[in-house]
Amino acid sequence: MSNSNSDHRGKNANDAASGAEIGAATGTAVAAAGAAASPGAAANADATASIAASAGISASLAQTYTNLIWDLRLLQWSNYFEGGVHDLSLLDSQFFMLAKQFLSRYASAFTPTDRQSEIVRTLLSRDLVDKNPAAAKLRNRLDDWNNYRDDDSASASATSSTSSTTDRRLALARKMRSDVLDLMYIRNGLAKDQGYHSYPDLVLSTEELNRERLIKMLHDFLDANLPHAQHLIKKYDIHWESWFSDLNRIAPLAESFPGTSAPAPSPAFPFDPSTAINRFLELLGLTDARSKIKIAFQDHGFAGMTSEVAPGDIRVMVEPIASLAGFKVLFHELGHALTYCFNQEQDLFRILPASYDEAMAVVIEYFAPRLLLGPTLQKKAAKIDVLEHTRCAISALFELELWESPAPKQPEELYLKHYGRLGVQIDHPELWALDSFRSIDPVYIHNYVIGAVLAPRLYDFLLQSFGDDYHSWGRWLINNVYFDGRKRPFSEKVASIYTI
C-alpha cells in the first residue's frame, strides 16, 4: 500500500460461514501438529525423530497459516473496494488460536530445523501479539474512522475548505488518540512477555532486520538528504497539513483520458497509464505479467493498494492519476504486483515480509521514470523521491523513539522534535494519532527507506552490468530476487548490492 494517511472503509458485519470454515481448518492443523509431536513422544524421541516431528508440525502449520492469509486478504479487499462488511475479528481469533495453541502446547517439542520452521515460529510469535483479542479489537476499531465521527460528520464533510478539513481531522485525531496509545501499550506489553525489548524488536525480528543497522541507515539517509528536502520544501512552498496534495503540484497532469480519469498524454508525459505499464514491461521483457495483473483506477481513499488475494490472483487499485506523484504510485503498486507475479514458491514462501515486498515496490517506482520519461520529469521524480523518503525516515525514527516510552504527553513533543527537522510549520502535532503507521501498519514505514537506499544502487548495478539491454535487467530481477519468494532472506538476495 502506498504511503498515505487515508480514511479506510469500515468492517462492521459478521461473516459467520467464513469464520466457521476457518475455525475447522485451524482445528485440523492443531490436531495434526499434536499427532506429529505429542509432548510425551517428543520427550522420548531421538534426534532424528525430533527433527521429523518438527518438520511435520512446520508443514501442517505453514499450510494452514497460508490459507488463513489468503482468506484475510480476500475479505480485506472486499471491505476496502467492493462494499464488503466482513467482520475480520473472526479471522483474528483464528490466527490467535493457532498461535496460542501451538506456542503453549508444542513449542517445547518444536525445534526449528529449516527456514520454513523458523518463519512459522516468528510469525506465530507476532500473531500472539497482533491477534490478541484486546489488540485486534482496538486495531479493527481504529481501521474504521466512522467509529470516531460524529453523527453529523457526513453533512459537515460537504463543506470543503482547508480549515474545515483540518478541524475534522483534529477532531478525529483527538478521539482516536487514547485508543492508539492503548494499542501501543498492549502490543509493547505482550511483546515484552515473550522476552523482546519492545514491540518494534518483535516486528524487526519477524522481518529479519537488524535494529542497530536499520537505525544507522535511517540516520545516514537523513544526513545525505535532509538539506535537499528542506530546500525543496521552500522552493515548492510545501505545507505540512497539505503535504501530499502539495507534492502533486511539482508536476501536475491535468487532463484526463476517456474512461479512466487518468492524465492525457503531453510532450513531457507521453503515455496513458496502460501504455506506460505495457511499455515498461516490454522494456524489461516481463510482458507475461500483464495478463496476470488486474489493475483498476478508482478513488477509494487510497493512493494505491496491491494484494495477491489468492495464488496468482493479483489485484491493483490506484487513484486516478493527476500528477507525476500519481504516476510514481502506479509503478510502486506495479512493483508489488511483479514481486508476486514472478514468485514461483507455494505456501508460506509465497507470503513475503514487508521489508522485501515494500523495498522492491520502491525499486520499480524508482526505475519507471528513468526508463520511460524525459530528463525534465526524471529530475522532478527524483525531487519527489527525496521529499517522500526523507519524511519516511523521520517518521520511522519518531516511531522507534515513541515505542520506547509512549507516555501521555510524549507523542506530541516527539512529533515536533522529529518532523520539525523538515523546516515546516507544524500547528497541530495532535495529528500524529491519525497516521495509520502508528496503529494499522506499525513499525512498517522504514521499509520505504530501505527501498530508497537500495533502488539507486540496484539501478547502477544493472546499468553497469547490462547497459541498455533491459531484458537482462528483467531476467536478473527474476533469477536473483523474485523467483524463490521468501525461501531465501531478502538480505541474501541483494547482498551483492547493499547490506540490509
Whether 438 is covered by a domain: the verdict is yes
The last residue of a domain, from among 125, 148, 171:
148
- 116 and 238: one domain? no
- 140 and 226: one domain? no
- 216 and 142: one domain? no
- 102 and 225: one domain? no
Whether 283 is covered by a domain: the verdict is yes
- 134 and 223: one domain? no
Confidence of residue 110 (pLDDT cuts 50, 70, 90): low
Grid cell digits, residue 41: 513422544
What is the reported pTM? 0.86
pLDDT at 18: 33
- 129 and 255: one domain? no
Q: 247-251, 367-371, 406-410 — which is least confidently predicted? A: 406-410
- 250 and 370: one domain? yes
Q: Read off the CATH number of the domain in which 353 is found.
A: 1.10.1370.30
pLDDT at 258: 33
What is the count of structural domains for the chain?
Answer: 2
- 380 and 458: one domain? yes
The last residue of a domain, from among 99, 118, 148:
148
Confidence of residue 271 (pLDDT cuts 50, 70, 90): low
Flag whether pLDDT at 104 surpasses 50.
yes
Q: 154-168, 220-234, 245-259, 349-363 — which is least confidently predicted? A: 154-168
- 230 and 142: one domain? no
Whether 184 is covered by a domain: the verdict is no
Whether 1 is covered by a domain: the verdict is no
The range of the structural domain enclosing residue 48 comes to 16-148
- 238 and 129: one domain? no
Whether 393 is covered by a domain: the verdict is yes
pLDDT at 165: 83
The last residue of a domain, from among 95, 129, 148:
148
Whether 187 is covered by a domain: the verdict is no
- 319 and 446: one domain? yes
Whether 167 is covered by a domain: the verdict is no
- 218 and 344: one domain? yes
